[in-house]
């Protein structure tokens, strides 16, 4: 058979291209060396953010991941939460909020990588650090130690997770997004408590993990003595200065937790961390050989149900670049996005160059990454926390604000300074819903039981954790005591005092069915003493306590040996002195009636008789029920609870979590007043809202709100580098992509269908304050408002020149010798 010449040529060309493609194909997989991670043959700078799948409903995941990618991230980091996946030994749940596979696939669909923190200890301000309750009751177990029962269950769980990931082909060598995994978590914090067993355990954990799967690198955070087969990483706020570096020459410098603020516990004041401080720490870390930073958290989300650990608020890391509701917190989100772009412009020099460091003074230094004859990037640093400075580099003077790093991707042009924010600011607003107002409340009050109503009897009060087994926050305790009139004080102005020493966390006390009072501990000191005068009567007196946990502990050594609940109960001031009733025989019952009957659901609500709320507040241990329509628009939804006290919330049977408004911070304000209702929980009409109030509140003040960040601001000084968006790199070429590098004040409404409807503040001079609370200084142009309105009113986006001649004639400048700043606050809305 003769083959035509044209076909021969075609076959030859096809063979050539196939062979070339095979030759050019990068190896699939993940390796590393002392410089960086190497993914599918390519070195990478990794910008990562922690996003936890159980802390947001699946309907929010895509939007959160998309915003993370738009913020310049290429890696998402998440824990795997053992106690939600195996709440009962041998029974697994990977559905709904807990669909880990769906979450990871969704990340991969947006071309992002995953760092899977298997744990199984995760801390994460999560109930019992992620351990399921049943693990606590395994005979002879010691958590996180070289302990056979613990290691058996830890390996079994880790193997289940790894096998699931392999089955779904989610690891990078299989074509999936998972490029790294973590075993254990910050073990150095507790290792000394376990002595030799701690050393043996950490060696075993590393061997176990890499034995289960070695296709991607494994890391251990905060583990200075990490075994050779795993990478030790840094957690903290300033790892450029606190991290001593990897404990091996072939391990890269990785930062697995860069805290974007701090989690909060009930009773805490606000926790904040400036975008400038985060950017400064990241720029310094990359200048000092770092190639991965992870923002913990990038989106914190919500501790739904009873998932938060001891005293942790329902809102988690709300100060992250994406707030609890998934809205961009500005300028944090944009300032970090611009930082990632500046570092990517420096990528070639950082990954293939050689560093040199020049100390100019105690506070000033120059770090240069350079590959001779090609790529060069410089980091100019001013470490002084109060004073700006200038620095001379390669024949040019550069101005450096206090505590800042300037990034020069070509060793000439400043494209970013960590202290100089050119990004937009915003402020969050909570607006009462018009469609969900005029709520009509009904109530049902729990009955206070006596010892005769409680099935579980014991001589002394049972320990609270092991009594509830993490099935409820609540447990009833009750005893009875017979007194005659000679036992009671003779004077009417003297009452006996009931004293209860509790190991935590809170309790409400009742005598003969009447509410006596409420007391609680806090995150630092969980134990407390309750003392209140009580009215006792001749005959039988019933003393009943509603003991409460506010989450299980999540950190520290020997977590399985923690205890809670009432221990010593005495009656003081009786005629015979103090009477200890701790060993008086007590009845117990886990949970409350409405909880058992699930009266927070449509079916359960029919099992009790509800009555309209009228007159004064009905008091403690009261359930409230109402219906509301889904609020207008598409903005997130919140529940304002500022006149309630403490309890739990449900919408359409979904638990919104704990609320605790009566626990005030040192500032005299609740730590959290608004609580997230995900739109995914809502129907268009007739949404069932149920509240359990423990101590008494005003249900008529509860308000359904919508949440927005439609208040936008720009605060730009005369000195600022051009926006990093003005530059690009093509191969070895670094170029400006705009003609005018002067960046003015930029404003953009959060939604494309919005326009700037009002300028709420404008000052060109020396204004001060923050977005939502700007105020005039002693110098301002009288034309400020007019100029800004001209450029911005009625527009979706606008740019305002930050130049003196745009506001005043030079002869009419009210303060010519003042260093000027333009501050603008605008309100966006539908046209």
Which of 298, 145, 117 is closest to 220 using CA atoms? 117
Residue with tokens 């053992």: 82
Report d(CA 463, CA 316) in Å as an integer.
Answer: 29
Residue with tokens 């395994």: 138
Predicted confidence at residue 721, as pLDDT, reads: 66
Report d(CA 9, CA 168) in Å as an integer.
Answer: 42
End-to-end Cα distance, the chain: 75
Give 10-residue mean pLDDT values along the chain (831 residues). Answer: 49 47 65 98 98 98 98 98 98 97 98 98 98 98 98 98 98 98 98 98 98 98 98 98 96 98 97 96 98 98 98 98 98 98 97 97 98 94 96 96 97 96 96 97 98 98 98 98 95 94 98 98 98 98 98 98 98 96 98 98 98 92 98 98 97 98 98 98 98 97 98 88 69 62 82 97 96 95 96 96 91 89 97 92
Predicted confidence at residue 734, as pLDDT, reads: 67
Cα radius of gyration (the chain): 31
Predicted confidence at residue 26, as pLDDT, reads: 61
Which of 574, 516, 577 is closest to 544 using CA atoms? 516
- The 3-state DSSP class for residue 107 equals helix
Report d(CA 717, CA 443) in Å as an integer.
Answer: 56
Report d(CA 652, CA 683) in Å as an integer.
Answer: 9
Predicted confidence at residue 553, as pLDDT, reads: 98
- Sorted by sequence, the CB contacts under 8 Å of residue 755 that are 6+ apart come out as 749, 794, 795, 796, 828, 829, 830, 831
Q: 0.85 exceeded by the pTM?
A: yes
Peptide bond into 297 cis (omega under 30): yes
Predicted confidence at residue 4, as pLDDT, reads: 52
Strands 178-183 and 113-119: parallel
Neighbours of 227 (CB within 10 A): 19
- The 3-state DSSP class for residue 101 equals helix
Predicted confidence at residue 616, as pLDDT, reads: 87
Q: Which residues are catalytic?
A: 186, 257
Neighbours of 595 (CB within 10 A): 19
Residue with tokens 């269908």: 753
654: which DSSP letter? E
Tokens of 782: 């009288």
């Amino acid at each position: 058979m003769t083959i035509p010449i044209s076909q021969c040529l075609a076959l030859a060309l096809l063979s050539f291209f196939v062979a070339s493609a095979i030759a050019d194909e990068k190896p699939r997989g993940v390796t590393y060396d002392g410089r960086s991670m190497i993914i599918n043959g390519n070195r990478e700078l990794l910008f990562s953010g922690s996003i936890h799948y159980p802390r947001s409903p699946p309907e929010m995941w895509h939007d959160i991941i998309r915003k993370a990618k738009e913020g310049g991230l290429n890696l998402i980091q998440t824990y795997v939460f053992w106690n939600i996946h195996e709440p009962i030994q041998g029974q697994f749940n990977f559905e709904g909020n807990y669909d880990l596979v769906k979450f990871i696939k969704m990340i991969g669909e947006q071309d992002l990588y995953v760092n899977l923190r298997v744990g199984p200890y995760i801390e994460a301000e999560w109930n019992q650090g992620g351990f399921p309750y049943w693990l606590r009751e395994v005979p002879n177990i010691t958590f996180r130690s070289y302990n056979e029962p613990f290691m058996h269950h830890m390996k079994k769980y880790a193997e289940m997770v790894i096998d699931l990931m392999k089955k779904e082909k989610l690891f990078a060598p299989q074509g999936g997004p998972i490029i790294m995994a973590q075993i254990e978590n910050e073990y150095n914090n507790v290792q000394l408590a376990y002595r030799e067993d701690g050393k043996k355990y950490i060696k075993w954990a590393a061997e176990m993990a890499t034995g289960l799967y070695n296709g991607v690198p494994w890391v251990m955070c905060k583990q200075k003595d990490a075994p050779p087969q795993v990478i030790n990483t840094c957690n903290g706020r300033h790892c450029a200065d606190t991290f001593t570096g990897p404990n091996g020459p072939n391990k890269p410098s990785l930062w697995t937790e860069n805290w974007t603020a701090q989690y909060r516990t009930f009773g805490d004041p606000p926790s904040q961390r400036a975008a400038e401080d985060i950017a400064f720490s990241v720029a310094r870390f990359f200048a000092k050989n770092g190639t991965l930073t992870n923002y913990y958290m990038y989106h914190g989300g919500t501790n739904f149900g009873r998932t938060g650990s001891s005293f942790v608020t329902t809102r988690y890391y709300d100060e992250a670049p994406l707030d609890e509701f998934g809205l961009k917190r500005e300028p944090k989100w944009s300032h970090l996005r611009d930082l990632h772009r500046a570092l990517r412009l420096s990528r070639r020099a950082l990954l293939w160059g050689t560093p040199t460091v020049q100390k100019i003074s105690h506070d000033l230094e120059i770090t240069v990454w350079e590959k001779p004859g090609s790529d060069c990037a410089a980091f100019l640093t001013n470490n002084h926390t109060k004073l700006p400075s200038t620095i001379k580099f390669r024949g040019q003077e550069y101005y450096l604000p206090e505590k800042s790093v300037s990034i020069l991707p070509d060793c000439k042009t400043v494209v970013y300074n960590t202290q100089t924010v050119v990004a937009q600011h915003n402020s969050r607003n909570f607006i009462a819903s018009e469609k969900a107002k005029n709520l009509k409340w009904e109530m049902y009050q729990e009955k206070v039981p006596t010892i005769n109503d409680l099935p579980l009897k014991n001589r002394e009060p049972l320990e609270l954790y092991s009594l509830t087994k993490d099935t409820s926050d609540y447990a009833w305790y009750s005893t009875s005591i017979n007194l005659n009139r000679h036992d009671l004080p003779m004077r009417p102005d003297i009452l006996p005092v009931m004293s209860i020493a509790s190991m935590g966390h809170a309790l409400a006390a009742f005598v003969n069915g009447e509410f006596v009072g409420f007391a609680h501990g806090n995150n630092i000191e969980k134990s407390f003493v309750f003392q209140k005068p009580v009215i006792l009567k001749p005959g039988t007196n019933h003393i009943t306590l509603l003991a409460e946990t506010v989450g299980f502990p999540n950190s520290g050594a020997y977590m399985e040996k923690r205890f809670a609940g009432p221990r010593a109960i005495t009656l003081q001031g009786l005629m015979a002195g103090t009477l200890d009733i701790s060993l008086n025989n007590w009845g117990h019952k886990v949970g409350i009636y409405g909880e058992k009957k699930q009266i927070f659901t449509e079916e359960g609500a029919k099992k009790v008789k509800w009555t309209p709320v009228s007159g004064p507040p009905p008091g403690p241990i009261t359930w409230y029920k109402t219906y509301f329509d889904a609020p207008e628009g598409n903005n997130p939804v919140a529940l304002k609870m500022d006149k309630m006290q403490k309890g739990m919330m449900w919408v359409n049977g979904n638990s919104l979590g704990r609320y605790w408004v009566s626990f005030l911070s040192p500032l005299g304000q609740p730590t959290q007043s608004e609580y997230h209702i995900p739109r995914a929980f809502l129907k268009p009409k007739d949404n069932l809202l149920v509240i359990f109030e423990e101590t008494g509140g005003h249900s008529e003040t509860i308000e359904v709100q919508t949440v927005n960040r439609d208040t936008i601001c720009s605060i730009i000084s005369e000195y600022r580098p051009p926006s990093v968006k003005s530059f690009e790199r093509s191969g070895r070429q670094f170029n400006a992509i705009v003609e005018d590098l002067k960046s003015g004040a930029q404003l953009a409404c959060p939604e494309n269908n919005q326009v700037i409807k009002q300028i709420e503040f404008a000052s060109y001079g020396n204004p001060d304050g923050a977005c939502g609370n700007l105020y005039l200084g002693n110098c301002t142009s009288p034309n400020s408002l007019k100029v800004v309105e001209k450029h911005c009113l009625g527009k979706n986006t606008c740019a305002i020149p930050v130049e003196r001649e745009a506001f005043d004639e030079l002869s009419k400048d009210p303060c010519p010798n003042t260093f000027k700043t333009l501050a603008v606050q605008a309100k966006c809305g539908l046209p």
